[in-house]
Structure 1
């Protein structure tokens, strides 16, 4: 569940606060000079909301130079610039957290607009109905994918799958079984190279906010020339693996696919490719240390998805 806690204020003369006030000056006419800071968790980096008291305005800072997840060795400035660019592209077609500024001086921070409202993960945890929010996610992803149509880099899709497998450190015999199953998918036409697009890339329930409409956040993992069903499969696996969602998971996944598809034939085609990307989604979850208790189940589900595929 998403948690927001107040951690302090930016004092007058604070270099970061002065920079923020400068780049946002046209939005702060009613600001009284106080900036309250709230830490947003969980997140793969330090992420904070900055509330400008009196201006009824907040922004979010994502600090690429302050990672909190397993990945700590990367070019932080490049990561900041890439996500800023991807958000600037995506905002032309879909609702996202609007990119406002970036600065390498302050731990490679990316500043975006703040969107209130629960995430899909919050709604899952609370046991709320997901049909309306998932309809919004399906339509958002469809607009993003349709607006960025290109070819699919099939080799990269399989390379990414193998990379996630590597991160799971499976015993040799089990890894070989996955290799055999992936070989069957490689020789199947279900994951073709004819249809690709820009994908969200990290389509987890925590990255979609619902305030009556859907807003997507966190485009750090966005990719071009990717298969559109990757977003759907990752989200479907997350829904199936979320505590409390299992009784309605199949219905929710079918609802997501149906509202994403524009014909019965498309629905069938997307359904045929879904097991490959659901397996990827399960493997992404299984590598997380805080999901260790579910690891065997997640790996078993990933294997079952691949085995139920193109054979």
Structure 2
């Protein structure tokens, strides 16, 4: 992961005492009287790496309350959800190789709603994708997608429950995305009406309601997964984990792949072979691979479409590219 050195954590900082007294005993190679170097991770203002200056032992701190996020109740709820989700997914066996959920070490509501987890080495999925695009190493990316498909299938299949999918929730999420895009003047009312009509067409499709709910990661983007050796995959950031359609995750990753390739190459179709490979590999972990592939790919265009709308709402997206994302989202959503 990319990191920016910020300095040393003062011993007078309450966080220093928390790390020393509550977290350090849980770390095998931590020193007795630790001092900590502080790094900002991946350009985020909310996620930091704390490194023991004596032994190099590392932990990650994620703050749910900050100058940008001031809602105390919401921060506490998000902290609780992520902490509990990490423990739950580890309890079902996603620990170690090849499928690993980062270990939660502690939470402290008084320290700006802080979650502390273990630090895991590896290559971010986003880096793997960018490397493949830049250097043309398609075989390497296919291998990563095979590993990721295996991971997601285990994540989903181990948590399937009897209750059916409630597609109303995903339609409501699409409504929130449309509202935000309207607020930032990314689209007019004609497009809003078109997107609402497309949403209704999907709402009428029986296939959108047919599967059982599973636990989904909820934010299956390339920055939330790390690759180790061979089939090793490590998952981060379960803050948005919930029960939903499994394609909420697979469709989001498919949309992210389209975005990465479209932004880097200008070709909206460049990611198609990789998306197809990923979904086919995901389907191989079911008794009837072809049936699973038909079922998931039949729902994928909706989730790809809302993923592109989700990316388009970000403030860092340039207006011209935002328009391309919205246009491509509509193409996906017309595939009902």
1:209 correspondence with 2:226: yes
For structure 1, the residue ranges without an aligned partner over 5 or more in a row are: none
Q: State the 1:82 CA deviation.
A: 1.1
Normalization by structure 1: what TM-score?
0.91
How many Å separate the matches in 1 of 2:102 and 2:290? Answer: 33
Q: State the 1:235 CA deviation.
A: 0.8
Written as runs of structure 1 = structure 2, the 5 A alignment for 1:25-64 is 25-27=25-27, 31=31, 33-43=34-44, 45-64=45-64
Cα 1:26–1:178 shift into 2, 3 Å: closer
Normalization by structure 2: what TM-score?
0.85
Tell me which moved more, 7-16 or 195-204: 7-16
| Aligned residues of 2:3 and 2:43 also touching (Cα < 8 A) | no
Aligned position for 1:157: 170
For structure 2, the residue ranges without an aligned partner over 5 or more in a row are: 95-99
| Aligned residues of 1:28 and 1:55 also touching (Cα < 8 A) | no
Aligned position for 1:223: 242
Cα 1:135–1:29 shift into 2, 3 Å: closer
Q: State the 1:218 CA deviation.
A: 0.8
Written as runs of structure 1 = structure 2, the 5 A alignment for 1:230-309 is 230-242=248-260, 243-244=263-264, 248-261=270-283, 262=286, 263-293=289-319, 294-309=321-336
Cα 1:187–1:82 shift into 2, 3 Å: same
| Aligned residues of 1:5 and 1:39 also touching (Cα < 8 A) | yes
The superposition leaves residues 157-203 of structure 1 with CA deviations (integer Å, 9 ceiling, x where unpaired) of 21112112211113111111111111111111121154211100101
Q: State the 1:42 CA deviation.
A: 3.3
Q: State the 1:14 CA deviation.
A: 3.0
Q: State the 1:125 CA deviation.
A: 2.0
2:50 aligns to what SS in structure 1?
strand
Tell me which moved more, 14-23 or 228-237: 14-23
Runs of 4+ in 1 over 6 A off after TM superposition: none
Aligned position for 2:108: 103
| Aligned residues of 1:29 and 1:55 also touching (Cα < 8 A) | yes
1:200 correspondence with 2:220: no
Aligned position for 2:123: 118
Cα 1:158–1:285 shift into 2, 3 Å: same
Q: State the 1:278 CA deviation.
A: 0.2
Aligned position for 2:194: 177
2:120 aligns to what SS in structure 1?
coil
| Aligned residues of 1:131 and 1:252 also touching (Cα < 8 A) | yes
How many Å separate the matches in 2 of 1:82 and 1:250? Answer: 34
2:65 aligns to what SS in structure 1?
strand
| Aligned residues of 1:64 and 1:109 also touching (Cα < 8 A) | yes
How many Å separate the matches in 1 of 2:105 and 2:252? Answer: 28
How many Å separate the matches in 2 of 1:210 and 1:26? Answer: 24
Correspondent of 1:147 among 127, 141, 158: 158
| Aligned residues of 1:154 and 1:193 also touching (Cα < 8 A) | no
2:220 aligns to what SS in structure 1?
coil
Cα 1:10–1:296 shift into 2, 3 Å: same
The superposition leaves residues 203-238 of structure 1 with CA deviations (integer Å, 9 ceiling, x where unpaired) of 1111111122111111111111x1100101111111
How many Å separate the matches in 1 of 2:251 and 2:192? Answer: 21
How many Å separate the matches in 2 of 1:51 and 1:117? Answer: 17
Cα 1:29–1:273 shift into 2, 3 Å: closer
Cα 1:252–1:281 shift into 2, 3 Å: same
Aligned position for 1:8: 7
